[in-house]
Structure 1
Amino acid sequence: MKSKGWMELRLFYSLETVQYFLEMVYKKNNIEDPKKNSFKNGERFIFFLKHAEAFYKQSIATPIEVKPILLFYGMAQLLKACLLTSDPSYPSHTSVLAHGVTTRKRKKQNYCFYNDEVKIQRNGLCMHVIQSLFQLEGLNDERFSMKQLLGRIPEMNKVLLFQRRNNPMVEAVIHNNHICLPKHIAELYNMSAKRFIEYIEYHLNWKFCREEDGFFAFDSDKMEHHPSTSTNLLFELEREMRFFPAERDCFFKIPEILAHFLISYNLSMIARYETEWWYDLLLQCSSDDYVIIQHFLSIAEEKFPYYIAKLLLQMNN
């Protein structure tokens, strides 16, 4: 695999480097016994990464019929490696070992993947990642539709637009440590400039700074500046561009990493347990879901490891 994400993740394939890395991260996060924990977790960290790479290698080489299963388990291993940076005792209890996500056990007649949903459980890997790695709250029992989650991935827009599924967004830029949104976005929200600024300050907890050169400039938490941790800016990898939702009620307070994980969980469950629907879709190309799923899988193979690499390297700075 020559993906940019895996090239950077392989920088961690050294026990000496990883132990030093973990010790620095533990010290920065005021975790007790940083040296002891770094020695305890160094090998485990590398093993999680290597196991993830094995899943990804097989996923890239395997047909689409089983690809979602391999991809999901690869993602889970990458997230477990990341968890060791914030929770050196992971897994400290059995409740964090389950996936922590549920979906409908039986698909109804005329089932549509795009309209399906998943639910985040109170315990399990997903919630532990949300709380320990991203320090996010208020997502217990939260439901997300595939439509919402796919809308977090700018690379999906070409497919969604071709299928007449609207997912409007505008380009955003980071300039002088400010997030800058084009002023015309207020019109897209059917708001005055003043009302739009108030809306963003209230819903996103950003602080308005000034208007300049046709942009609204905001201060925000520095996590918003990094594609791997941002919960409101959307990032397109190929062109390295940032986007912002161009309509209301599109703020879901989860980073794109989690959107990939939740979509992949649902697809892995379908590939395992909804065999009849799955093969009807793959062999007959019977609905728009086929193109959506195929496109998502190709994006996730490249983008998820990239985000994990950036997340870890960000900790190293």
Structure 2
Amino acid sequence: MKAFTWKRIQRFHSATLTRNYLTKRYNQINIEDAAAKAYDNCYSFIYYLEQGEAFYEQAAKTPLSIRPILLYYGLIHLIKACLLSIDPYYPHSTTVLAHGVSTRKRKRKDYQFFADEVKVQKNGLCTYFSERMFHVKHLEGEKFKMGELLELIVELEESFSFLKEKSSMIELPIRKGGLHIIPNQLLNSYHMSESRLKEYLSYKCKKEIRWGENMEGHLTFNKSIGNVPPFRYHIQKDSLWLPSTIQELNLLPDLLIHYLILYNLSMISRYETEWWMELIKTTPNDDYPFIRDFLDITEIKGPFLIDNYLRENSNFTLYDK
């Protein structure tokens, strides 16, 4: 999957293809002189992708102790390419160049990663790409706990089941005709009737849900919904899942979740060396396996999310193989 994703991203290394792609995107959002803007931004777009890939390549070869830094900066460059595909004037000011997130620099003696928080700032890349790419607004001042964000990484569901003895996600199996089935377990977990659940998901999801007829006593819907919150696409199992509990965090896009966790891990790796190295060398608690598993997942999932975003804006879909 990892090599396949990078091959698709590498298609944009063609200046001709990239100019055509950017021209199309700029025309879709009614930018004047779209072709000229595409010409101006063509190589910046390609260089962002190439630099991002270089960081990911090095992260795959480097010790775990510095992987978060490389993965974080790799993701930043890929996000900048996405922004350039929808904003020909990016970066229009220095305010959008900051990280846009802050964290406590000095950790307490009894520090635990799951309880740690990051705070979203008014200006910076975090708020800018969240609003421009996903229309997620009003993040300024919001605090996010690492444990709550990790629960939304669907590929960690087995880790939560084994290490925390809790189910963070519920799988939506596919039946004949390509329909997803919503298990009764989800109805019980959400404390909702079928009609209330349909109403809730239809309201929260930013993409139209095409509901099917009940099958085997379960709600069904067409699988073309894709990776749109609160739905989560499991890249390793090629399946859709929903969070096992209802909370506002369920609506955060995957790319933002990966960005926030990677930001914090990169800061810890740089500034909390004693705690970080002790974690890696002695693995004293459950933090280590979750962090290790997350880094393995984000190395694959981050580029996948970027590729999917670029392809969706070129009339591709998540399931277009």
User: Where does the alignment leave 5 or more consecutive residues of structure 2 unmatched?
Assistant: 316-321
The Cα shift of 1:56 comes to 0.8
Once the two structures are superposed, the pairs formed by residues 46-195 of structure 1 within 5 Å of their partners are 46-172=46-172, 181-195=182-196
Match of 1:212 in 2: 214
Quick one: percent identity of the two aligned structures? Answer: 38
CA RMSD of aligned residues (A): 2.5
TM-score, normalised on structure 1? 0.90
The Cα shift of 1:192 comes to 3.2
TM-score, normalised on structure 2? 0.89
CA–CA distance in 2 between the matches of 1:174 and 1:141? 39
Provide, for residues 220-254 of structure 1, a one-character-per-residue CA deviation record: whole Å limited to 9, x for no partner. Answer: 9x8xx332xx2211111122100012222264321
The Cα shift of 1:108 comes to 1.1
Match of 1:258 in 2: 256
User: Where does the alignment leave 5 or more consecutive residues of structure 1 unmatched?
Assistant: none
Evaluate the alpha carbon distance shift between residue 219 and residue 25 of structure 1 in structure 2; reply closer, same or farther with a 3 A threshold.
same
* Secondary structure class of the residue paired with 1:90: coil
- How many residues align structurally? 312
Match of 1:236 among 234, 237, 249: 234
Provide, for residues 78-120 of structure 1, a one-character-per-residue CA deviation record: whole Å limited to 9, x for no partner. Answer: 0000000111111001100001011112111211111211111
Q: Which amino acid letter does the alignment assign opposite residue 305 of structure 1? A: P
Evaluate the alpha carbon distance shift between residue 274 and residue 174 of structure 1 in structure 2; reply closer, same or farther with a 3 A threshold.
same
Whether the aligned pair in 2 keeps the contact of 1:168 and 1:245 (CA below 8 Å) is yes
Is 1:196 the equivalent of 2:194?
Answer: no
Q: Which amino acid letter does the alignment assign opposite residue 77 of structure 1? A: H
Match of 1:17 in 2: 17
* Secondary structure class of the residue paired with 2:240: strand
The Cα shift of 1:141 comes to 1.8
The Cα shift of 1:145 comes to 1.2
Provide, for residues 158-200 of structure 1, a one-character-per-residue CA deviation record: whole Å limited to 9, x for no partner. Answer: 2222212523332236898987533442222233334434444
Evaluate the alpha carbon distance shift between residue 109 and residue 80 of structure 1 in structure 2; reply closer, same or farther with a 3 A threshold.
same
CA–CA distance in 1 between the matches of 2:141 and 2:210? 32
Evaluate the alpha carbon distance shift between residue 4 and residue 152 of structure 1 in structure 2; reply closer, same or farther with a 3 A threshold.
farther
Q: Which amino acid letter does the alignment assign opposite residue 18 of structure 2? A: V
The Cα shift of 1:261 comes to 0.9
Is 1:314 the equivalent of 2:319?
Answer: no
Provide, for residues 44-73 of structure 1, a one-character-per-residue CA deviation record: whole Å limited to 9, x for no partner. Answer: 000001111111111111101111101100
Whether the aligned pair in 2 keeps the contact of 1:233 and 1:244 (CA below 8 Å) is yes
CA–CA distance in 2 between the matches of 1:137 and 1:178? 32
Match of 1:280 in 2: 278
CA–CA distance in 2 between the matches of 1:169 and 1:251? 13
CA–CA distance in 2 between the matches of 1:106 and 1:121? 19
